[in-house]
Structure 1
Amino acid sequence: MTVSHKDRQIDNIEFNVGDIGRSKAFYAGAFGWTFVDYGPTYTEFSDGRLRGGFTTGEPVRPGGPLIILYSDDLDATQLRLKALGAVISRETFSFPGGSRFHFIDPDGYELAVWTNLD
């Protein structure tokens, strides 16, 4: 298996928001971000370098956005995280374009890992 240039790197940041339109207006006005909508509950943003998303699919989590890392091998990454003491907080699920799972690190931070569908 070959390793991609983005394996084990932060690949996406996802904000759970109360109102996607409000968040788009705020970040477009403040920083000039651009957006691509993927239905009524998700929009992708780009700041010109990094991509992320706004979603209303889950409750707003005060304290910060969800950091999402990329993995070429989702199963191996999940096993490695479990071996290091991570707790899987959301089992692997599919979405348009890929699959991901969430985990809690030793300090209680929730992160996610995703892979694309080939």
Structure 2
Amino acid sequence: MRVDGKIDYVELPGVDLPATKGFYARAFGWTFTDYGPSYTAFDNGGLDGGFNADPEDRAAAPLVILFATDLEAMEARVKAAGGSVTRPIYSFPGGRRFHFRDPSGNELAVFSEA
């Protein structure tokens, strides 16, 4: 159900759509709907969000964070799919996470609860 004032959609830059779609399909099982040659929408994602005010830890751009029950297994899937880990698994007060770049250069993170 769509609600006024709630985040409804996340749009990321896509430099190479075939490589980007292949990465997210292999790493996370996402599916896609193409809307012409230069736009694709992804399915299979829920959405929550937050703001990081830590000047030593916050991302320079919006950071999309995905969930994983087994963080080590997901990190292996990201690497096998062609992602580049930019920050290895680390702990924080709510759990653990790692950051990676997709084939288009977008930085995302994956977390698991404490």
Task: Tell me how far apart the structure 2 counterparts of residues 92 and 60 of structure 1 sit (CA, whole Å).
Answer: 16
Where do 1:1-118 residues align within 5 Å? 9-11=45-47, 50-56=48-54, 57-58=56-57, 61=60, 64-117=61-114
Matching residue's letter, 1:72 = T
Aligned equivalents of 2:78 and 2:59: distance in 1?
25
Unaligned runs of 5+ in 1: 1-7, 12-49
Q: Deviations over 1:39-98 (max 9, x none)?
A: xxxxxxxxxxx441232233661xx31110111110111000100100000010001120
Relative to its length, the structure with more strand (as a share) is 1
Query: What is the distance in 2 between the residues matched to 1:71 and 1:9?
Result: 12
Structure 2 Cα separation of the partners of residues 112 and 60 of structure 1: 10
Contact persistence 1:10–1:70 (CA under 8 A)? no
SS of the residue corresponding to residue 76 of structure 1 reads: helix
Structure 2, unpaired ranges of 5+: 1-43
TM-score by length of 1: 0.53
Q: Which whole-Å CA distance do the structure 2 matches of 1:87 and 1:60 have between them?
A: 16
CA RMSD of aligned residues (A): 2.0
For the Cα contact (< 8 Å) 1:71–1:114, is it kept in 2? Answer: yes
SS of the aligned residue for 2:50 comes to strand
Q: Percent identity?
A: 41
Alignment: residue pair count: 70
Report the TM-score when normalising by structure 2: 0.54
